[in-house]
Amino acid sequence: MFFSKLKENLKKTKDALDVKMSNIFADKKDIEEIIDEIEETLILSDVGYETSTKICDKLRLDLKKQVDKSENAIRELLKKEMTDILVSEEINVVDSINLNEKQVILVVGVNGVGKTTSIGKLTKLYKDNGKRVLLAAADTFRAGAIEQLEIWANRNNVDICTGKEMQDPASVIYDATKKFNEENYDVLICDTAGRLHNKKNLMDELEKMKKIIDKNISDSIYKETIMVLDATTGQNGAIQAKSFLEKTKVNGIFLTKLDSTSKGGVVFSIVDELKIPVKYIGVGEQIEDIEKFDAKSFVEAIV
Ligand SMILES: Nc1nc2c(ncn2[C@@H]2O[C@H](COP(=O)(O)OP(=O)(O)OP(=O)(O)O)[C@@H](O)[C@H]2O)c(=O)[nH]1
Ligand SMILES: [Mg+2]
């Protein structure tokens, strides 16, 4: 996707952040005052208190080391500090996106965040990369969920494993892993029902699905759990995600609905506090509205 398109998709976040930034520089102020206001702006843009403080402490420190303290120089430095948050060494680089490897992906998250839609988009991405994709409709809980994934399977012209409504989702995963192995697919993507971290039986059910994947899929195949997060929920979503992670392991995040929120700044606190990479972003309801997350272009598009 072209850079200007990303900018367009992140417009609401950019407007919220950028307009405030321009105001900061509009009147003459001393550096301390400017940095304080930047910090306040970041907090108000859902970057999160701790992460905003971390960014601005570093900004203060690095600014001391350079002579140029013009608006442009401060902005460039701020972009660097923000990018650094997103690419820190603590975040597992092994988990970087690999569209070529054989893999099994379990997609999890709370209700309505965009799991099924994101699976539809991911399927297209893998298919466009020449991969044979199999889908598993392991949301047997919500009425209509199976049909919803079937629609995405048809759109992408890929195979799908389904069960009956209210059937044990682990049994759907079992059938899907069997088919994946026997028919030598490249990628298996499993849809699951939306769940809250405090619903113990549902969280246990998730562990059961993971166990089946671990048992039935060879260790030579890359396996991961992707958590889908709705960007429009901002800091609340980030806090909820933290609780979710205390109950189950996740390798990567798919952050959705960035097109319809000014709270895109939440990505910084997600990465900084959860220490999990954001792999993809959702920027609309259509099949092509997906982007591999790139820290640098993301920061360039919003600051
Ligand atoms: N604007 C926008 N809407 C999105 C995006 N991703 C998903 N949606 C919308 O979010 C709504 C919920 O999407 P689903 O894919 O059904 O969400 P889900 O997590 O599978 O929901 P449950 O299965 O009920 O838990 C739908 O109306 C989607 O079109 C996105 O990136 N941008
Ligand atoms: Mg769903």
pLDDT at 90 over 70: no
For the residues 206-227, what does the mean pLDDT come to? 96
Residue 133 is predicted with a pLDDT of: 98
268-271 long-range CB contacts below 8 Å, 24 or more apart? 268/42, 268/47, 268/48, 268/51, 268/55, 268/82, 268/85, 268/86, 269/46, 269/47, 269/48, 269/50, 269/51, 269/235, 269/238, 270/229, 270/238, 270/241, 271/85, 271/86, 271/88, 271/91
Whether 70 and 255 have beta carbons less than 8 Å apart is answered as no
Residue 87 is predicted with a pLDDT of: 87
The per-residue pLDDT for range 156-207, each reduced to its tens digit, is 999 999 999 999 999 999 999 999 999 999 999 999 999 999 999 999 999 9
pLDDT at 24 over 80: yes
Which ligand sits closest to the CA of 114? Answer: 1
Query: What pTM does this model have?
Result: 0.95
Whether 186 and 133 have beta carbons less than 8 Å apart is answered as yes
| Residue linked to tokens 């070529």 | 100
Q: What does R_g of the chain's alpha carbons equal in angstroms?
A: 21
Q: Answer whether 80 contacts ligand 1 (Cβ < 6 A).
A: no
220, two tokens: 């030579």
Q: Binning pLDDT at 50, 70 and 90, where does residue 111 land?
A: very high
List residues bridging with 254 in a β-sheet.
228, 280
> What is the distance in A from the centroid of ligand 1 to the CA of 114?
3
Query: Average per-residue pLDDT in the chain?
Result: 93
Pocket test for ligand 1, best of 117, 227, 292 (most atoms within 8 A of CB): 117
Q: Answer whether 283 contacts ligand 1 (Cβ < 6 A).
A: yes
Q: Answer whether 113 contacts ligand 1 (Cβ < 6 A).
A: yes
The per-residue pLDDT for range 58-77, each reduced to its tens digit, is 999 999 999 999 999 999 99
Whether 92 and 301 have beta carbons less than 8 Å apart is answered as no
Whether 83 and 69 have beta carbons less than 8 Å apart is answered as no
What is the number of the ligand 1 atom nearest to the C-alpha of 228? 19
Per-residue CA distances from 222 to 99, 210, 260 (Å): 11, 13, 33
Residue 278 is predicted with a pLDDT of: 93
Q: Answer whether 284 contacts ligand 1 (Cβ < 6 A).
A: yes
Whether 261 and 234 have beta carbons less than 8 Å apart is answered as yes
The neighbourhood of ligand 2, an ion, using CB within 5 A, equals 115-116
Q: Answer whether 279 contacts ligand 1 (Cβ < 6 A).
A: no
Nearest Cα neighbor of 228 from 203, 251, 210, 260 is 251
List residues bridging with 9 in a β-sheet.
none
Residue 20 is predicted with a pLDDT of: 87
Q: Answer whether 114 contacts ligand 1 (Cβ < 6 A).
A: yes
Whether 105 and 190 have beta carbons less than 8 Å apart is answered as yes
> What is the distance in A from the centroid of ligand 1 to the CA of 139?
14
% of the chain beyond a pLDDT of 70? 96
